[in-house]
Amino acid sequence: MIPVYRPLIGAAEKSNVADAVESTWISSKGSYLRRFEEGFSSFAGARHGIATCNGTVSIHLILAALGVGPGDEVIVPTFTYIASVNAITYTGATPVFVDSDPVHWNLDPSDAAAKITERTKAIMVVHLYGHPADMGPILAMGREHGIAVIEDAAEAHGAEYQGRRVGALGLAGSFSFFGNKIITTGEGGMVVCNDADFAERCSHLRGQGVSPTRTYWHDVVGFNYRMTNVAAALGVAQLERVDDVIAAKRRIAARYCDALADIEGLTLPPEMPWARSVYWMVSILVDPVLRDALMAHLKDRDIETRPFFYPAHTLPMYATSDRFPVAEHLGASGINLPSFPELTDAEIDQVVAGVREFMEQEARS
Ligand SMILES: *Cc1c(COP(=O)(O)O)cnc(C)c1O
């Protein structure tokens, strides 16, 4: 079976984890944590990094530090992984869905502009599948209306918008280090930002809102969203290979795109002139009536794939009669192909052959 994903774990990961365990600093104090926060935030072009136990709570932490709560609205693309939306719901605020851009698949800035109200507290962009959102118009909108722009960068470590890495282009951004993300700590996340006060608020809320100087004195309702030193030890080793992982992903995407280019009826993953994608997943679009059959055909050839996310507004807890035609079309058309860093050229060619065989068969019938 060629899997969709498999993390790249080597000797450095094993020895760092063993070292952290031997040190007995296995909870949320220890030298790897500081190294990982400093190393990753600087990789993301941000001054501050606050490591968390996953990428869902790191989004929640940003919203909580921003003071988002009941009565507030947060603009979010409906076409995203569910965590982006749930994190808004945790605060008691209302997620306000926007449609996606048909070319780059991320939040459509003009639809976001149309959804701004007096209650809008933040705009959350999501850099899906490794491709940055169109930040320019969104940041301008945020400045104009005095609304915070935050980034769910869980799938886009190292992706660039106009030559700048995503994460801290707005007020703050969230990364995930789940096992299938660009780099992993098993489970893990991080908030990055440039504002020292905001970083301090996130750090305070992450650690139960405890006073830095007075033991067991808590002045806000905080959370335990801390990362362990063992996870950070894994992260420090992963960070040393992040450039290699991104290079591998760009090589994989280039080979797929070259080989799939002449097949009728496929849309290949975008890379806008203002973007440098890290191709977390190499994704293609096909006619929705063929999508599941193509996935089944590949499965018969021992090739694992994933469908795109269901847009959030089509799921039971966020159901609405509002329509988001682009998001609905993407959700019904998209397939993630095997995209792990160690994927070989021969395996890519095998996937392409499977896609080609199916599409030619369909064209004949
Ligand atoms: C993975 C992911 C998350 C959540 O990260 P976890 O670490 O799994 O909690 C959030 N948003 C997006 C877009 C993701 O892909």
Answer whether residue 1 is part of any domain. no
Q: Are residues 57 and 201 in the same domain?
A: yes
Probe target for ligand 1 pocket from 40, 82, 106, 178, with the most ligand atoms within 8 Å of CB: 178
The domain tally of the chain equals 2
Q: State the DSSP code for 118.
A: T
Pocket residues: Cβ below 6 A from ligand 1: 54-56, 80-81, 83-84, 126, 152, 154-155, 176, 178, 189
Q: Are residues 77 and 193 in the same domain?
A: yes
CATH number of the domain at 95, please.
Answer: 3.40.640.10
Q: Are residues 107 and 234 in the same domain?
A: yes
Amino acid at the residue 293: A
pTM: 0.97
Count CB neighbours of 50 within 10 A: 30
Task: Round to the nearest angstrom and report the end-to-end CA distance of the chain.
Answer: 28
Could you list the mean pLDDT of each consecutive 10-residue stretch along the chain, which spans 365 residues? 95 97 94 98 98 98 98 98 98 98 98 98 98 98 98 98 98 98 98 98 98 94 98 98 97 98 96 98 98 98 98 98 97 98 98 98 91
What is the pLDDT, as a whole number, of residue 145? 97
CATH number of the domain at 294, please.
Answer: 3.90.1150.10
Question: Residues for the chain: how many in total?
Answer: 365
Q: Are residues 262 and 219 in the same domain?
A: no
Q: State the DSSP code for 280.
A: S
What is the pLDDT, as a whole number, of residue 365? 85
What is the pLDDT, as a whole number, of residue 305? 98
Answer whether residue 6 is part of any domain. no
Q: Are residues 233 and 274 in the same domain?
A: no
Q: Are residues 251 and 212 in the same domain?
A: no
Answer whether residue 80 is part of any domain. yes
Nearest-atom index, ligand 1, CA of 127:
13
Question: CA 247 from chain center: how many Å?
Answer: 18
Question: CA 257 from chain center: how many Å?
Answer: 22
The whole domain housing 132 covers 11-240
Probe target for ligand 1 pocket from 58, 80, 84, with the most ligand atoms within 8 Å of CB: 84
Q: Are residues 338 and 199 in the same domain?
A: no
- Final residue of a domain: which of 220, 240, 260? 240
DSSP E strands, 118-202? 120-126, 148-152, 160-161, 164-165, 172-176, 189-193
- The answer to whether the beta carbons of residues 188 and 68 sit under 8 Å apart is no
- The answer to whether the beta carbons of residues 259 and 349 sit under 8 Å apart is yes
Answer whether residue 117 is part of any domain. yes
Q: Are residues 217 and 291 in the same domain?
A: no
Q: Are residues 131 and 163 in the same domain?
A: yes
Answer whether residue 4 is part of any domain. no
Catalytic residues: 181
